[in-house]
Amino acid sequence: MAVMQKFRDEDCEQRRVGCAAISVRQQKICGMAFSKWQRLRTICAATIAALAAGCASVPAPFADAGDFYDMPSPFPSGAPGTLIRVLPLPSSSHAPGLTFFRIMYHSRDAQDRDVAVTGLVVVPDSAPPPGGWPVISHGHGTTGLAPDCAPSRRVNDYQAFGVSAVIAASDYLGLGPTGQLHAYLSGPSEGRAMIDAVRAARALTQGRTSTRWIASGASQGGHAALFAGQEAARYAPELELKGVVAIEPSSEGLRSFEGDEPLLLTAVDVMSLYGRAVDHPQLAPESYVSAQTAEWAKRLRTECLSAAVTAFAAIPLASVWTKDPRNTAPSRWIIEESTPGRASSPAPILLVQGGQDAVVTPARTGAFLQRACQAGDTVDFRLYPEGTHDTTPGLAKADIGAWIEDRLAGRPAPSTCAAAAAR
């Protein structure tokens, strides 16, 4: 209880009153907008919802007899980013000066349904700078589809790149809560989960964070960060997204590239087929896969990445599919919907790639770079020739940290699009 109390300082009530006043004013403004400009409906609704979430009180620390990850019954409705549960975690000698919270919060899936998402918030113990801490929304890489694969269950997957900030690390939709299945590589729900994690972190810290934030992630997390960037201005206009860091992001799901590893690529395609079906009920995975693959897919509900992919290797690649999901509706258009770069990013992008990456190949990232530049995005591309899928984030850490600091300071973002087009 004591660890929660430090986020309930004496100005809390004053802040809530101020928020309430702003919220009422915003509703009046939006009411006038509805009568004149219907296209503002989404922006106004998102703003009011965010103000309501920001002014909500922080739930008491979770102390029920059940598991933190068990879904509440009945499930309470709530605005995106509203906290459902908070659990302060024991301090760690490996991370002095930081306080960790496990959270459950409201978000929206690809169908705009109210869903619960879990995650982790990491807060510096020191006093925030003037204006509050910025927030880095961290997107984790592929861990699996089962609830037990959620990074927040182990508190070992978060990255600030040396930047002093609050970290909001979402598990994404379906990865964490008991009995669910992760909506793997479903871009809209991933992006919204990362955005709503920022809202939840700001509600938790009660005025100690600013509206400035960064979306960052590697592999699947890079895919999620890119979607957060695309969604942010419409979905969360009250927040100031300063930049997107995408490290070897999953992208171009309808295409194959030189250097792709067939077994791994096929396993990811099957996992994403089952994962996207969580967000898209009209998608029936069993109509695309063989009986052998469908039997293997049962493992996705209990096993994490390493064990699941090891077992997948026993299936001959020629026996995986009965029809190709890349070429058959509705799967094809659902994959296309989850391809980053189809919409422009209003925030600048740092795109990081390892030259030796055999999981997300340089050719795949190069295709995304071309797509993003053609869309008019500001993209700073950095290649680390010796980097692999696992080592590139470490090799690029100092450069990423400096890039983030520059964006938070308001310095102009560089772009390598002109140089890429000249090659």
Domain end (from 336, 363, 383)? 336
What's the pLDDT score for residue 55?
A: 52
Whether residues 313 and 209 share a domain: the answer is: no
* Gap between the Cα atoms of 232 and 41, Å rounded: 16
| Numbers of helices and strands, H then E, in the chain | 13, 9
Whether residues 185 and 317 share a domain: the answer is: no
Tell me the Ramachandran region of residue 72: left when phi exceeds 0, alpha when psi lies from -120 to 50, beta otherwise.
Answer: beta
Whether residues 77 and 51 share a domain: the answer is: yes
Which residue is it, tokens 């590239």? 257
For residue 210, is pLDDT > 90? Answer: yes
Helix (H, G, I), strand (E, B) or coil at 183: coil
Please report which confidence band the pLDDT of residue 92 belongs to, taking 50, 70 and 90 as the band edges.
confident
Closest to 204 measured CA to CA, from 86, 77, 117 = 86
Taking residues 38-57, what's their average pLDDT? 44
- What is the CA angle 157-161-162, rounded to 5? 120
For the range 324-328, what are the long-range contacts, defined as Cβ-Cβ under 8 Å and sequence gap of 24 or more? 324/288, 325/269, 325/273, 325/288, 326/253, 326/254, 326/269, 328/288
Give exposure, 75-91, as e/b (b: 16+ Cβ within 10 Å). Answer: eeebbbbbbbbbbbeee
Whether residues 277 and 227 share a domain: the answer is: no
What's the pLDDT score for residue 26?
A: 38
Please report which confidence band the pLDDT of residue 65 belongs to, taking 50, 70 and 90 as the band edges.
low
- 51-60, 137-146, 154-163: segment of lowest average pLDDT: 51-60
Strands 83-88 and 98-108: what pairing? antiparallel
- 47-61, 185-199, 294-308, 403-417: segment of lowest average pLDDT: 47-61
Domain end (from 218, 247, 276)? 247
For residue 22, is pLDDT > 60? Answer: no
Spatial contact of 330 and 287, defined as CB atoms under 8 Å apart: no
Domain end (from 285, 318, 336)? 336
In-domain check, residue 406: no
In-domain check, residue 349: no
Whether residues 88 and 174 share a domain: the answer is: yes
Whether residues 305 and 222 share a domain: the answer is: no
* Gap between the Cα atoms of 51 and 91, Å rounded: 31
What's the pLDDT score for residue 95?
A: 84
DSSP 148-175: GG-GGGTT-----TT---EEEEE--TTS
In-domain check, residue 361: no
User: How many structural domains compose the chain?
Assistant: 2
Whether residues 174 and 228 share a domain: the answer is: yes
* Gap between the Cα atoms of 412 and 111, Å rounded: 36
Whether residues 10 and 134 share a domain: the answer is: yes
Q: How far is residue 382 from each of residues 116, 252, 351, 355, 420, measured CA to CA in Å?
A: 36, 19, 6, 10, 11
Please report which confidence band the pLDDT of residue 56 belongs to, taking 50, 70 and 90 as the band edges.
low
Which residue is it, tokens 């430090």? 6
**pLDDT of 277-302, one tens digit each?**
999 999 999 999 999 999 999 999 99
For residue 29, is pLDDT > 50? Answer: no
For residue 91, is pLDDT > 60? Answer: yes
Whether residues 197 and 301 share a domain: the answer is: no
DSSP 12-38: HHHHHHHHHHHHHHHHHHHHHHHHH-G
Whether residues 233 and 269 share a domain: the answer is: no
Taking residues 329-348, what's their average pLDDT? 96
For residue 151, is pLDDT > 50? Answer: yes
Task: Print the domain residue range for 241.
Answer: 2-247
Query: Residue 409 corresponds to which tokens in the numbers above?
Result: 């300071």
- Percent above pLDDT 90 for the chain: 80
What's the pLDDT score for residue 33?
A: 35
Indicate which CATH number applies to the domain containing 85.
3.40.50.1820
